Copies of this chain bind each other. A is one copy, B any other.
Amino acid sequence: MAVEPQQVRALIHGVFDLQRVLRCVAQEHKSSEVGSAEAGVLRMISEFGGRAVDIAEKLSVSAPVLSRHIAELHDRGLVTRRPDPEDRRAQLLELTETGKARLAEIEEARISLILELLEGWDEAEVESCAASIRRLTDTMRAKSHTLKGGSLDHTETTKEEELAAR
């Protein structure tokens, strides 16, 4: 039950090491046209569409950052903006046909690259690795939201502790 600090240390270093390798791989195979942040924008618009503010939230990015990426993608004809009929402040985002095609290219290139890099892995290994990473992400996202107010925000914990103490 007790997680050792040294284990967590190893996990942290492992994550940093992963990020370094990812940076190198991205650097070596960067597509000249669409940056990785913009690719993320295309992906989120493709998956969820809709209002810019929601896309920014899914990307965990501030509004100005998304605004610039959208402007850039719009200028290059990859994204359309149209006013939200229900809220004239907002705009609804969609991929153009070109945008869809470009996203598909990016995803295919990435998949074939990683497939090549993972040569020798089997289905179960990929699945379990993806599941580990997803679980880590989900845990951190959930907990970091509840801790957002700082360590003084113990409202919920206190209730649970009261129950547990009986």
Q: Name the contact of A21 in the complex, choosing from B123, B129, B140 (C-beta under 8 A).
A: B140
Binds B, one of A66-74, A88-96, A131-139: A131-139
The listed residue (B5, B18, B107, B130) touching A7 by CB distance below 8 A is: B130
A11 part of interface (Cβ distance < 8 Å): yes
Q: Are B133 and A20 in contact (CB under 8 A)?
A: no
Nearest CB on B from A40, distance (A):
6
Q: Are A136 and B7 touching (Cβ within 8 A)?
A: no
A136-154: which residues lie under 8 A (CB-CB) from chain B? 136-137, 139-141, 143-144, 147-148
Closest to A5 in B: B111
User: A115 to chain B: which residues have CB within 8 Å?
Assistant: 3, 5, 8
Contacting residue for A118 out of B8, B10, B119, B121, CB 8 A: B8
